[in-house]
A and B are shown apart, each in its own frame.
Chain A
């Protein structure tokens, strides 16, 4: 990483640049143009097997929602355990590196579960969520969360934790908790909208 032109902060800078780009995109006409262009994709989603099953068989949709919630519970547990350890609130007598690494595996699996079930659910109500601003907020939060976790937090915590500024560590942990709870909260609010 130190060979990079931007030094050890390459991925952090790229991620921040991407997030700024997304926000910039949100306030330009390009966004409204894209919004129209992707409409057929959402129409197509409802015609897929996932879409047909989700729309016509309510019990299947509800069951997949439950798996989504269970994945979310595991995701929340792994985030809170890891960040709680970094913040010195949980399992302080266990090496932080051990907790952080083990929780990373759990978070990755829970993310796979929630994304797969989320795609199924999105297919069932594609045209509804297309018009919901909160769905797009959730997508923005999700992409930010995934990028933050894999491109900023994970590479940072691969270093010896003793060598990292404690304030940076705490800020990373708090940001991680906030971003994942934001993803969950915006997801829940989709159910109340439309």
Chain B
């Protein structure tokens, strides 16, 4: 599996636009800045919804209104983050694919999506009975805490990708090498 991922990453790395994007000072930095600054839209809205469920924000506004009205801007933010994230991966495919932080981030993004789906379903089933309460019931609050926790760790991992502490080019313990997908004798980093 790691060989396959490495092979695909090398193939992407060989494409002209990957090199152009990576070598363009302004283009790469604009894409990265957009990726980071869109946090203010996507995670900003998500935090407001989660904090409402936990009772820390807008306690006098029905929870369903906050969740419904902020959903669209939040999704727009996530779409932009997703597109710019793909471009960032495409610009540096081999190093990204073999970054332990990137891999943890991808797993956590799946966890975030599953948690959001469950939270949304639980809310839809029961919101009419607690919509105007300042805090949601405990099982909804657990979902909101998980959402805040998962996304915070996603941001931590995203930030840590920039550092080369656990890169394959360094000597690492075998477990780290395995989890990062380092290949014996690889020539591209």
User: Which residues from chain A sit less than 8 Å from chain B, CB to CB?
Assistant: 58-59, 62-63, 65-66, 69-70, 72-81, 84, 90-91, 93-94, 98-99, 102, 105-106, 180-181, 184-185, 188-189, 192
Which residue of chain A is the closest to B164 with respect to CB atoms?
A58
Task: Check B60 against A98 for contact (C-beta < 8 Å).
Answer: yes
User: Which residues on the A side are within 8 Å of B109 (C-beta)?
Assistant: none
User: Which residues from chain B sit less than 8 Å from chain A, CB to CB?
Assistant: 29, 32-33, 36-37, 39-48, 51, 57-58, 60-61, 65-66, 69-70, 73, 152, 155-156, 159-160, 162-163, 165
Q: How far is the CA of A59 from the CA of B160 in the complex (A)?
A: 8
Task: Check B40 against A73 for contact (C-beta < 8 Å).
Answer: yes
Q: How far is the CA of A65 from the CA of B57 in the complex (A)?
A: 24
Task: Check B40 against A184 for contact (C-beta < 8 Å).
Answer: yes
**Interface secondary structure of A, over-half rule:** helix
Task: Check A94 against B43 for contact (C-beta < 8 Å).
Answer: no
Contact partner of B61 (CB less than 8 A), chosen from A63, A70, A98, is A98
Contact partner of A72 (CB less than 8 A), chosen from B33, B40, B45, B60, is B40
Task: Check B165 against A58 for contact (C-beta < 8 Å).
Answer: yes
Task: Check A80 against B40 for contact (C-beta < 8 Å).
Answer: yes
Task: Check B155 against A77 for contact (C-beta < 8 Å).
Answer: no
Contact partner of A77 (CB less than 8 A), chosen from B47, B69, B152, B163, is B47
B4 to chain A, nearest CB (A): 30
User: Which residues on the A side are within 8 Å of B32 (C-beta)?
Assistant: 188
A187 to chain B, nearest CB (A): 9
B118 to chain A, nearest CB (A): 22
Q: How far is the CA of A185 from the CA of B30 in the complex (A)?
A: 10
Which residue of chain B is the closest to A76 with respect to CB atoms?
B40
User: Which residues on the B side are within 8 Å of A66 (C-beta)?
Assistant: 152, 155-156, 159
User: Which residues on the B side are within 8 Å of A93 (C-beta)?
Assistant: 65, 69
Knowing A58-B165, A65-B159, A99-B58 are in contact, say whether A185-B37 is a contact too (CB < 8 A): yes
User: Which residues on the B side are within 8 Å of A84 (C-beta)?
Assistant: 73
Contact partner of B44 (CB less than 8 A), chosen from A58, A62, A73, is A73
User: Which residues on the B side are within 8 Å of A79 (C-beta)?
Assistant: 40, 44
